[in-house]
Structure 1
């Protein structure tokens, strides 16, 4: 409601209809003919429309799709993976040989140490238990030793 207590009624607009004006056909003067080499300018094509008009323009050559590159039977990725696997196996084989070599070298060094201990121990035993007449050092002869009350008296 408006202050004058009249209901609001929207104003109606007049509908205007516009009709397109047809254009009269244009008769163009023929273009002058100029001698041109056939390979430099594309061919001109003319089309007659159903109402009698003629449309002239250059012929459009359809673009040829680019030839699809021939894919190899086996992809490069598959070849790289296979070569990587072969290289990995070669490395693993080398690592197994390396660990075998290290184990054999450790056993050899252990045997050399044991052999040296046996030979050195035998040499010491021979030195201690030999009955040779040549002795070096001080000889102490104990005679008439008397042991009283856990004391040694000479």
Structure 2
């Protein structure tokens, strides 16, 4: 357990011989002549010689031609679609308008009932005031005489 280790000592690091690898240049390959082929089946092969002498061979890319755009007339005109959508929207709104008119009619009936209730209560209060005045509890006495009107003249 307390034995000396090679960690930290110079004996653990041995120097190795340095080997240098130099790459060998690749000799450019010459392509064999191509056999005649019908045009359009196999793309042409292009070779490019770089400034350092290497040859890069590959297929030449021709730009893609977009397919001709054909105008397809829709089965239904836009005006018909817009009219149909407007009709659907109008029908959706009509339900809300029907509810709104029903609400307004119910509110008018409620206000009418409140006016009748107020008239009954006020009329009852007036009747109590008139009929309680005959008790002579310090109120004002009102005598109503039978009045006669003949030929636009008042006889009281």
Greater Cα radius of gyration, structure 1 or 2: 1
The TM-score normalised by the length of structure 1 is 0.39
